[in-house]
């Protein structure tokens, strides 16, 4: 009751939702000292949802990944209904693409949910933050699913091996990140270890894939290695924005609503996922146009 009266008397203005400056918001919303204005705070869930249409410093963070969710939902339907049948794909192709794009959708939805509801209370903010971080890891691990399936298409033993490893990594990630102690400082090292494992793991199947196809000069490697490199460059660029808080660090208060580091991080993540989806389709097309040789199948 106290909280509710607080919302109606102090926090809400006549024509909508009040916005606060950095110094006035609760400590759990003070994650970025270079964003000075445009904060929402103390909102009940219904007003959090209403704030979707209020121009705050979270508006672009919410919408970039909400739109991202609908893009990947559309691609999931389109791939299953149009693209995969075009190549006379099997049920396994449908499963691979559905899992892959569902991971992206999960990532987008958790992120949009976090930015939408973080202004409710500390408890809700932490719960959604756990989901947001879990979503990032699941989205990253989702990238491995079609990549491993089509890259090791002719090496079924290794294909199964890497798919099992990726599935285990996903389960461990979800278990760890939804654990109540995940966000505590005591788990800082485990958090770092998990992120390094999720990102760094990719080097192992990529190196193995190059070796199995005969080295760097093999046509398939020459065609697809640059696509992997672009993905890593996009990932590093996104992480640089995330970690350095650039550009707001250089001009505090000037990019509160448009152009802040977190918005760049969001947009680059969507671009990276779209790039990987596009590359996955080319790899699938390549596999259907170039059937496995007996030699490849035997050596797996
Ligand atoms: Zn975010």
For the chain, the domains span 56-299
Ligand 1 centre and the CA of 220: distance in Å? 35
Q: How high is the pLDDT of residue 183? A: 79
Q: How high is the pLDDT of residue 191? A: 77
The two structure tokens encoding residue 290: 């170039």
Return the CATH number of the domain spanning residue range 56-299. 1.20.1070
Q: How high is the pLDDT of residue 242? A: 87
**195-204 contact pairs (CB < 8 A, 24+):** 195/137, 197/169, 198/137, 198/140, 198/141, 198/169, 198/173, 199/140, 199/235, 201/144, 201/165, 201/169, 202/143, 202/144, 202/228, 202/232
Ligand 1 centre and the CA of 262: distance in Å? 6
Report how far residue 45's alpha carbon sits from residue 120's, in angstroms, rounded to the nearest whole number: 7
Q: How high is the pLDDT of residue 273? A: 95
Q: How high is the pLDDT of residue 14? A: 47
Q: How many CB atoms lie within 10 A of CB 99?
A: 18
Q: How high is the pLDDT of residue 109? A: 97
Q: Which residues contact 154 (CB under 8 A, 6 or more apart)?
A: 292, 293, 296, 297, 300
Interior/surface letters 259-278, b for 16+ CB within 10 angstroms, e for the rest: ebbbbbbbbbbbebbbebbe
Ligand 1 centre and the CA of 22: distance in Å? 18
Helix axes 122-151, 91-117, angle to 10 degrees: 160
CA-based nearest residue to 172, from 189, 193, 151, 149: 193
Q: What is the pLDDT of residues 105-122, one digit of tens each?
A: 999 999 999 999 999 999
Q: How high is the pLDDT of residue 16? A: 60
Distances (CA, A) of 235 to 200, 253, 268: 12, 26, 8
Residue 84 β-bridge partners: none
Q: What is the pLDDT of residues 22-70, one digit of tens each?
A: 998 888 888 899 999 999 988 888 889 999 999 999 999 999 999 999 9
Ligand 1 centre and the CA of 93: distance in Å? 31
Ligand 1 centre and the CA of 167: distance in Å? 24
Ligand 1 centre and the CA of 125: distance in Å? 12
Q: How high is the pLDDT of residue 297? A: 55
| Residues of the chain under the 50 pLDDT cut | 1-11, 13-15, 298
Ligand 1 centre and the CA of 129: distance in Å? 9
Q: How high is the pLDDT of residue 300? A: 52
Ligand 1 centre and the CA of 111: distance in Å? 5
């Amino acid at each position: 009751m106290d909280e509710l009266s607080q919302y109606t008397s102090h926090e809400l203005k006549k024509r909508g939702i009040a916005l606060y400056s950095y110094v006035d918001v609760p400590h759990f919303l003070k994650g970025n000292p270079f964003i000075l204005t445009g904060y929402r705070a103390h909102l009940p869930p219904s007003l959090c949802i209403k704030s979707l249409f209020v121009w705050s410093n979270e508006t672009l963070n919410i919408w970039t990944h909400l739109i991202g969710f609908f893009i990947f939902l559309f691609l999931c339907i389109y791939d299953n209904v149009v693209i995969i049948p075009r190549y006379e794909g099997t049920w396994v192709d449908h499963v691979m693409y559905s899992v892959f794009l569902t991971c992206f959708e999960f990532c987008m939805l958790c992120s949009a949910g976090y930015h939408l509801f973080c202004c409710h209370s500390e408890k809700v903010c932490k719960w959604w933050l756990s989901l947001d971080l879990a979503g990032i890891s699941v989205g990253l691990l989702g990238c491995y699913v079609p990549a491993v399936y089509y890259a090791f298409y002719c090496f079924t033993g290794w294909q199964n091996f890497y798919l099992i490893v990726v599935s285990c990594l996903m389960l461990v990630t979800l278990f760890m990140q939804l654990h109540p102690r995940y966000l505590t400082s005591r788990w800082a090292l485990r958090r770092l270890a998990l992120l390094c494992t999720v990102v760094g793991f990719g080097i192992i199947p990529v190196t193995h894939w190059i070796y199995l196809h005969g080295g760097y000069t093999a046509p398939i490697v020459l065609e697809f290695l640059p696509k992997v490199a672009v993905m890593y460059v996009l990932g590093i660029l996104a992480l640089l924005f995330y970690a350095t808080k650039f550009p707001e660090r250089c001009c505090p208060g000037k990019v509160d609503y448009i152009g802040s580091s977190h918005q760049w991080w969001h947009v680059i993540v969507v671009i990276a996922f779209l790039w990987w989806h596009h590359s996955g389709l080319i790899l699938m097309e390549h596999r259907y146009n170039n059937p496995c040789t007996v030699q490849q199948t035997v050596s797996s």
